[in-house]
Amino acid sequence: MFGSADTEPSMRAIAREAGVGIATLYRHFPTREALVEAVYRDQVAGLTAGARELLAEFPPPAALRRWMDLFGKWIAAKNGMLDTLLALIESGDIAHGQTQTELLAAIDGILDAGRATNELRPDVTAEDIAAGLIGIFTVARPPEHDARANRLLNIMLDGLRPTR
């Protein structure tokens, strides 16, 4: 949706891409910051709901792997709004700690299910998963490096399975 952090698009370009008039965009989002905050909150809600939905449909390891892909898309989507997002976090307008708590709870839900079925290691924490994902997506940013990211995510998931 957004370009690189160095070239954040204008509100007019965003309205055009969304298929709405500039007045409609400003009526709903009077500032770039309001738009970025709404997108960010929507994406976090999608990630947390996505964890529950995936777990309802797939066994815990498969749900976790698919959730890792959702996380990668979330990271990629934040790229174009990074400067504005960082300013909002710095000002306190977006509670970064609350987002972190929500995301770790989503990961914990999947890990707990995997522990209960003995499909995921009991000694791995949500913080471990989050740190691994951030590391992977730092060196293999989607979508430019999908093959590398997929390989690294699969290796990570293999390491999360209990040894028998």
> Is residue 141 predicted with pLDDT exceeding 90?
no
- The secondary structure of 123-163, three-state, reads CCCHHHHHHHHHHHHHHCCCCCCHHHHHHHHHHHHHHHCCC
When pLDDT is cut at 50, 70 and 90, the band that residue 5 belongs to is very low
pTM for this entry? 0.74
Q: With respect to CATH, is domain 32-160 assigned 1.10.1530.10?
A: no
> Is residue 57 predicted with pLDDT exceeding 50?
yes
Find out whether 44 and 107 touch, Cβ atoms under 8 Å: no
Least-confidence region, from 26-35, 111-120, 139-148: 139-148
When pLDDT is cut at 50, 70 and 90, the band that residue 2 belongs to is very low
pLDDT of 114 reads 97
Residue-averaged pLDDT of the chain: 81
Q: Domain-by-domain residue ranges, the chain?
A: 32-160
Share of the chain above pLDDT 90, in %: 36
pLDDT of 144 reads 60
